[in-house]
């Protein structure tokens, strides 16, 4: 009888281990491009998710911050959640989207940022004294 109990406990432990192996980290691949589809290197990419605990105010948790590589990509290894993903680059309008990630899978999102117009700093030239 004892050997059956040990076997049953061992089976439950193995099953639990297999379940946690299935909830592996996912890969979230973010690509940032300009309006023509060319990659934007060194763009900032931030991912975060909301936590809502019982009786508390919702709060935003930052999960990752990176810059894109020469191909405009940033890759994050993340657990299963719904993420808010922000992308920004100098001279471009920042963008945000929501991406739901399921355990152990690969997810990709492409941001196509618009060129920022106006709102820049105007530099006034001062004439040289004669």
Q: Is position 106 within any domain?
A: yes
pLDDT band at 7 (very low <50, low <70, confident <90, very high): very low
Res 1: pLDDT: 54
Average pLDDT, the chain: 81
How many domains in the chain?
1
Beta strands in the chain (DSSP E): 26-33, 44-51, 59-67, 73-78, 81-88, 95-101, 106-112
Burial of 119 (0-12, 13-18, 19+ CB in 10 A): exposed
Q: Is residue 20 part of a domain?
A: no
- pTM for this prediction: 0.70
Is 112 a residue whose pLDDT tops 80? yes
Q: Is 15 within the bounds of a domain?
A: no
Residue 120 lies inside a defined structural domain of this protein: no
83 located within any domain: yes
Q: Are strands 44-51 and 81-88 parallel, antiparallel or unpaired?
A: antiparallel
Task: Summarize pLDDT for 90-104 with one digit per residue, the tens.
Answer: 999 999 999 998 888
Domain membership of residue 86 (yes or no) is yes
CATH number of the domain at 100, please.
Answer: 2.60.40.1120
Domain of 102, in residue numbers: 25-112
């Amino acid at each position: 009888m004892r050997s059956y109990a040990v076997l049953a406990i061992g089976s439950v432990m193995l099953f639990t281990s297999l379940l946690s192996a299935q909830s592996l980290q996912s890969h979230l691949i973010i690509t940032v491009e300009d309006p023509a589809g060319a990659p934007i290197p060194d763009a900032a990419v931030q991912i975060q998710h909301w936590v809502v605990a019982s009786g508390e105010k919702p709060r935003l948790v930052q999960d990752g911050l990176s810059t894109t590589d020469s191909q405009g990509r940033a890759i994050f290894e993340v657990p299963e959640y719904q993420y808010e993903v922000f992308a920004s680059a100098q001279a471009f309008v920042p963008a945000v989207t929501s991406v739901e990630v399921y355990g152990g899978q690969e997810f990709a999102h492409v941001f196509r940022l618009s060129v920022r117009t106006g709102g820049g700093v105007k530099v006034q030239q001062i004439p040289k004294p004669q």
